[in-house]
Each structure stands twice: as C-alpha cells, then as structure tokens.
Structure 1
Amino acid sequence: MPESPFDQRRYQVRHDWGTEGLGRLAPADVVVVVDVLRFSTTVTDAVARGEAVALDAEAHAASINGAAVAQAAGASGAVVLLGCLRNAAAVARVVLDLQHARGARTSIAVIAAGELAGREAGAPLRFAVEDQLGAGAIVDALGDLGVDHTSPEAASACEVFRGLRGAVRHLLTAGGSGQELLDRDARDEVLNASVVDAASVVPILRDGAFVAY
C-alpha cells in the first residue's frame, strides 16, 4: 500500500475512527476495536461470564458499527481485540504479551467505532465521546507499559482521557449515546460501561467469535 500522510505508519500506536479510519491507517499487527456503548462492553462482560460471542453484525444491530469494524479488522489479517473503559489496562497487557510472543515490535491500531448518525444504510459516522475516552484509556494504559511511540492522533485521545478521567461517569451519562440509552431505561448499562479497569478479560477474535484471550 503506498504511503499516505494519514496512515500513521511511522508510529507504533495509531488511532482513527470507524471502518474508513481503519482503511486509512497502514496495516497493523493488532487492531483494538473500541465501541463502549455498547458492543465492546457487552461482549467483554459476556466473555467474562465464559461465553463465546459470534461476530455477526446482524446479531449486534444496536452496535452494528463496532461489529463492522471488527469484521474489517479480521479480514485484514490483524489480531482483533475488543477494548472499552472496563478493560483498558487488561487490553494493554494483552498487547504487550502478544508483542513478547511475536518477538518483534508490534503495531497497534486503536479504532474508535463512533456512532451512526441515523438508522438508514450509509448513514455518516458521528463523534461518540464514550469511544474517544475508551480509546484514550487504552492508549494511556499502553504508555504505562512502555508502548508509547504514539501518533499525534493517539496521543491526543490519550490526553483527553487523562484530563477527563474524573468525569467519565458524568460524560457517559450526559453524552448523546448515553442519553439515548437512558431514554430506553438502560441507565445501569451506561454506568456499568463507565467503570474504568473493572474487568480483567479481553475478547479476542478467533474463528468468527470473540473468546477470552
């Protein structure tokens, strides 16, 4: 693939949004899909209960964008992990473990899924504060483990999380995605998603399903 000013290939830790962002980046060894409300969080919780969760976009209609990013990442040949606020530190540990197993510098694309601005096919992607915070939490956790050669885009997401970490609960409930879920009487789900590093499990895509790493 020819080099692009936007592919972030010179950096180990990269960050962009949605399937288009994944395609914009240089191919990465590991792709972390971040769809905090709700795909990444619900699958993480299910895998923590011992379940295997099939990667089927139709089965995840409420978070079809997150499932679509995961499908595209899997098709690229990358190792695909699901990350969220609840397992950010655990994701960083798994990435470091994968790097040790490979015995080589490992490139990581942290992809915020964002939300579709409408239900119709081809609806544009909109900014989702929960995914910005989730991506930043993972980049921050990677930096804590010494994986800190980050692109400007990844570094910016990291600093957003660091600066707003104390307000994560409020931001998730006050943001658009959170308000939508609150209107559906799913406040507990939003609050659950806002707890940083509450989970130690990391879903990894194997044979078309997410299982515990």
Structure 2
Amino acid sequence: MSSAAGQSRHQVRFEWGSTGGMLIAERADVAVVVDVLSFSTTLSVAVDRGIVVLPYPAGRPDAASYAAQHRADLAATRDRSDPERLSLSPASIRAAGVIDRLVLPSPNGSAISHGLAPQVTTVVGACLRNAVAVANWIAREHDAETATIAVVAAGERWPDGSLRPAVEDLWGAGAVLAALEDHDWPGLSPEAAMAADAYRLVAGREQSHLRACASGLELIEGGFGADVDIAAEVGSTTVVPLLSDRGFIAAP
C-alpha cells in the first residue's frame, strides 16, 4: 500500500482498526489506541486502581494458559446474568476485589494494542476519561517538531468480521487530537484534523451522545448502561496507561 495511505507526510495521523493502525504506526514514536466502548475505558479504570493490564486478542483458546503464565486474572466476556463477573465491563473492574494483574481480551482495542506492541516503541490507551491527560503527556514527553503520533480508533465488528467504524471511537480519538491542537501541536493530517473537529461537535454532550449511539444502545439494551456512563466520565482521570514489557501500567 502507498505511503500516502499511511499518512507518512504528516506527523500526527488518524486511522481505523488493526490494518489502518499498523499502517499509520509505521515509524511512529507513539501509538494511541482508542476503544471507548469498552477496552480503553476499562483499561483506564483498571490502571487507575493500580492493576497491570495485559492486552490479548479475544477468542484465542490459549487465553487461560496465557493468564496463568503471567499469574494474572482473566477477564471473561460480559454476562447479563452476572453483571459483576470480571469482564470487559468497566463497572465490573471498578467493583472487583483486589486484583494485581489482569488479562483483558477484546476483539478490537486489546487486539490492536497486542499487535502494535512489537512494532511501536510507545503504546498508550486513551478514552474520554483520560483524553486530555494523554495529550498532555505526549506534549510533555515528546518533541512536537520531531515526534510522530499515530492515533488509532479501534471500531467495532460487523457479524461477518469486517470493520464497523464506531462513532464513539471517533470522538475519543478526536478528543486526544483536539487536545494536541490546543498544545499547538503541528502536522495533523486531514484525517486527524477531521477527527478533532468531530469531537468538538459533541464536546459537553458526550454522555447523551454515547447513550444514543449504536454501540451505547447495544450495551444499554444488554443491561450494561453503567458501562456507558463510566465511558462518559470525561476528564475524570489523569492516569495514562502505558504499555510496558509487564503490561499496561500508569505512565510516569
């Protein structure tokens, strides 16, 4: 694929999903993974609690052995009959007892993070809860004149497995990008600038829009409305989940 598709002429890039993320993250200094409903929101809640989070693709049969190998708890899929079961639900992580390490599988944000880990020096997780904190951390730790930033909106999946661009991830990615623009960060691609503008259109109305969008309605109808409300806790944390060789931890 051409370098134009990878937005290689721009220092700040935006794309969708695993394929787009790998493309724009080539030679990037920082990859920002955004999966608002729910991987990166759940990640932020967990790292707020001091939990080390290991990303892993969903559906792999070796997930339990991977968790055992790393002496970690394994998050299950959401279960309406047991909403407090440790899962991708941020509410379940918030309500859980003591956890030191957590394998958090998901088909989108977690899988993308896992895939980017060998390719990019720095991978961080962002959502609406910490978007400004992520931008502030990037601005503090990296040189605006030389650093390349790749912001990846995870999206969702259609039943046939193809990518479904999810508007909540556009808003989450756009929140990071808008905050970078507030730092006068140069070099946004048109794609990145579009995402920043999309967030500004909903800023101040995030909760109502999250509850009304397709992914939000799906969770609400499934009995997980609390997860949507947690995702709408805009700016509630300054913790930046940074992927280390141990898993996601709080960035210094």
* TM-score, normalised by the number of residues in structure 2: 0.77
Q: Is the 8 A contact 1:129 1:171 kept in 2?
A: no
CA positional deviation for 1:77: 2.8
Q: Retained in 1: the 8 A contact 2:211–2:217? A: yes
- Asked whether the 8 Å contact 1:65–1:114 carries over to 2, the reply is yes
CA distance in 2, matches of 1:189, 1:23: 28
Equivalent pairs: percent with the same residue?
Answer: 41
- Tell me how far apart the structure 2 counterparts of residues 39 and 93 of structure 1 sit (CA, whole Å): 21
Q: Secondary structure at the match of 1:166?
A: coil
Tell me which structure has the larger Cα radius of gyration.
Answer: 2
**CA offset at residue 208 of structure 1?**
4.4
Distance across 2 between alignment mates of 1:132 and 1:89: 15
**Structure richer in helix, relative to its length:** 1
- Can you give the 5+ residue segments of structure 2 that lack an aligned partner in the other structure? 59-73, 78-87, 89-105
Letter of the aligned partner of 2:228 in structure 1?
V
In structure 1, C-alpha distance between the alignment counterparts of 2:250 and 2:189, rounded to whole Å: 28
Q: Distance in 1 between matches of 2:2 and 2:147?
A: 19
State the distance in 2 between where 1:154 and 1:110 align. Answer: 8
Residue 239 (structure 2) aligned to one of 198, 201, 213: 201
Match of 1:44 in 2: 44
Distance (Å, rounded) in 2 between the aligned partners of 1:115 and 1:21:
13
Match of 1:76 in 2: 119
Which residue is equivalent to 2:157? 116
Find the residue that maps to 2:120 and give its secondary structure: coil
* Matched pairs, number: 207
**Which one-letter code corresponds to 1:7 in the other structure?**
G
User: Structure 1 stretch 133-142 or stretch 5-14: which is displaced more?
Assistant: 5-14
In structure 1, C-alpha distance between the alignment counterparts of 2:158 and 2:211, rounded to whole Å:
18
| Shift of residue 142, structure 1, vs aligned partner | 0.8
Runs of 4+ in 1 over 6 A off after TM superposition: none
Confirm or deny: 8 A CA contact 2:12 2:148 kept in the other structure: yes
Distance in structure 1 (CA, Å) of the matches to 2:23 and 2:241: 24
Contact 1:51 1:211 in 2 (8 A): yes
Query: 1:94 Cα shift?
Result: 1.4
Deviations along 1:34-68, one digit per CA (max 9) or x if unpaired, are 00000000011110011111122245665321111
Match for 2:132 among 89, 92, 101?
A: 89
Among candidates 98, 108, 112, match of residue 141 of structure 2: 98
Q: Which amino acid letter does the alignment assign opposite residue 6 of structure 1?
A: A
Aligned partner of 2:134: which letter?
Answer: V
In 2, are the aligned partners of 1:13 and 1:149 still within 8 Å (CA)? yes
How far apart in 1 are the matches of 2:133 and 2:34?
14
- Looking at structure 2, the residues matched to 73 and 164 of structure 1 have their Cα atoms a distance apart, in angstroms, of 29
1:179 lines up with 2:231 in the alignment: no
The answer for unaligned runs of 5 or more in structure 1 is none
RMSD across aligned positions (CA): 1.8
The answer as to whether partners of 1:31 and 1:79 remain within 8 angstroms in 2 is yes
What SS does structure 2 have at the residue aligned with 1:85?
coil
Query: 1:44–1:82: 8 Å Cα contact kept in structure 2?
Result: yes
| Distance in 2 of aligned mates of 1:90 and 1:35 | 16
Which residue of the partner structure matches residue 94 of structure 2? Answer: none
Deviation, structure 1 residue 104: 6.5
Q: Secondary structure at the match of 1:211?
A: strand
Matching residue's letter, 1:35: D
CA distance in 1, matches of 2:245, 2:180: 26
| Counterpart contact for 2:18–2:112, Cα < 8 Å | yes
2:193 aligned partner = 155
User: Given residue 147 of structure 2, which amino acid in structure 1 is its aligned partner?
Assistant: T
Pairwise CA distance, 1:93: 1.4
